[in-house]
Amino acid sequence: MVAQPALLDTVRVAGACPQIGVEGFRCRKQVGRGVYLDLDSIDAAYAGYEGTGDLFRDRPGFQMRVTPRGVRRPVVTGGWGCLIEVVDGRLASRTNPVPYTLKQVIGVEIYEKLSDVPPYYQQYAWRRAYPCTLVVYWTQVRPRR
């Protein structure tokens, strides 16, 4: 008898990024499609800006709108013309508001095409019968600046 090495088929393991949480943001940033702004890129590119609306100031497909309270908010000008915002994995609402200042934000995901939206967030990207631009803000576990 002669010893022979065992030949096995290649095993590929595919894992999904966590759906909710900052770890999911970091994972999607490495493998996803869309625009991902982490703490470092926000601080570098938006130094001197204060409101989260300033993240969209010079971004194609967006315009700034000023609310009656003086807050700058993004408005989508391209595509379907609608914007859905998610904060820390949940749809933005009165009880889960969009962060007011950039100091509250540690990451942002921007998806302008439905084909780029991760499966979990596709439920939010549809409004009525058409897809919308989706923005996901991350605020939890914020390091000090």
Higher-pLDDT residue of 51 and 5 is 51
Q: What's the pTM?
A: 0.80
- Contacts for 16-25: CB closer than 8 Å, 24+ residues apart: 17/118, 19/89, 19/118, 19/120, 19/121, 20/88, 20/89, 20/120, 21/89, 21/140, 22/106, 22/107, 22/138, 22/140, 22/141, 24/89, 25/107, 25/109, 25/136, 25/138
Would 97 be classed as within a structural domain?
A: yes
CATH code of the domain in which 58 resides: 2.170.130.10
Mapped onto helix, strand or coil, the DSSP state of residue 72 is strand
Instruction: Tell me the per-residue pLDDT of 55-65, one tens digit each, with 9 for 90 and over.
Output: 988 888 888 88
Q: Which residue has the higher pLDDT, 10 or 126?
A: 126
The answer on pLDDT for 12 being more than 70 is no
pLDDT band with cut points at 50, 70 and 90 for residue 110:
very high
What range defines the domain where residue 65 resides?
29-138
Residue 133 lies in a domain: yes
Residue 14 belongs to a domain: no
